[in-house]
Amino acid sequence: MSATLLLLRHGQIKANRQRRWHGSTDSALTLKGRIQATLTSRALRKRGDIQAVYTSPLQRCRHTGALASSHTTHRTTVIDGLAEMSIGDWEGKKFTELYGQYKLLERCNEDLTWRPPNGESLDDVAQRMASSLQHIVATHNAGDTVLVVSHGAAMAVALATLLDNDPGKWGNYHFRNCSLTELSFANKPSLGRFNDCSHLGLFG
């Protein structure tokens, strides 16, 4: 038995509403995002089993983590490796542009080492995310449950790497804002509940 990671995607930001890739660009939660994080805190309070909180350095995750863990006395630890995938000069563009004109998904999936201009490759993200999550697990005792606040693309690449041994399968994993996903590390990484938004009600 090993620690269980409770992966939490950050709450809504304006770029999510506009269907733009924000990546490593810093941005604040919307009102809806703050409500989502507060509702997550209520759900986690009912669980009562969070031993620690880790978050990406970007403010949308730090704020989500602070609100979601407000019922605990745990200090939040920021880990740079949990940040969102950077697509460099293309950040802020709409998904329709990125997937159509720029062929982002095709290029990433055809060559795991390909990088957008001044951005990261899938391999870059896979290495830092897997390393960060494994470090967190190694830091905690068997049976601990740890809250990890990160981003949609970064977590998708992490799961594809840890579960499928192929970062290129990141398209199989989609996370809604403030969804909860359980990742266990017993003999090998395994997925429990996935992309669970049941605690968000009308704000999911």
**Has residue 118 been placed in a domain?**
yes
Q: What is the pLDDT along the chain (204 residues), one digit of tens a residue?
A: 588 999 999 999 999 999 999 999 999 999 999 999 999 999 999 988 899 999 999 999 999 999 999 988 888 999 999 999 999 999 999 999 999 999 999 999 999 999 999 999 999 999 999 999 999 999 998 889 999 999 999 999 999 999 999 999 999 999 999 999 999 988 789 999 999 999 999 998
**Has residue 151 been placed in a domain?**
no
The per-residue pLDDT for 188 is: 86
Could you identify the residue written with the tokens 């000069």? 89
From residue 102, give the alpha-carbon distance in Å to each of 94, 95, 99.
11, 10, 6
The DSSP bridge pattern shows strands 4-9 and 180-185 to be: antiparallel
Could you identify the residue written with the tokens 């003999």? 187
The per-residue pLDDT for 187 is: 79
Q: Which domain holds residue 51?
A: 4-145+161-203
Q: How many domains is the chain built from?
A: 1
**Has residue 122 been placed in a domain?**
yes
Looking at residue 122, which CATH number applies to its domain? 3.40.50.1240
**Has residue 35 been placed in a domain?**
yes
The per-residue pLDDT for 22 is: 92
The per-residue pLDDT for 2 is: 82
**Has residue 156 been placed in a domain?**
no
Q: Which backbone phi and psi does 180 adopt, to 5 degrees?
A: -115, 135
The per-residue pLDDT for 3 is: 87
**Has residue 84 been placed in a domain?**
yes
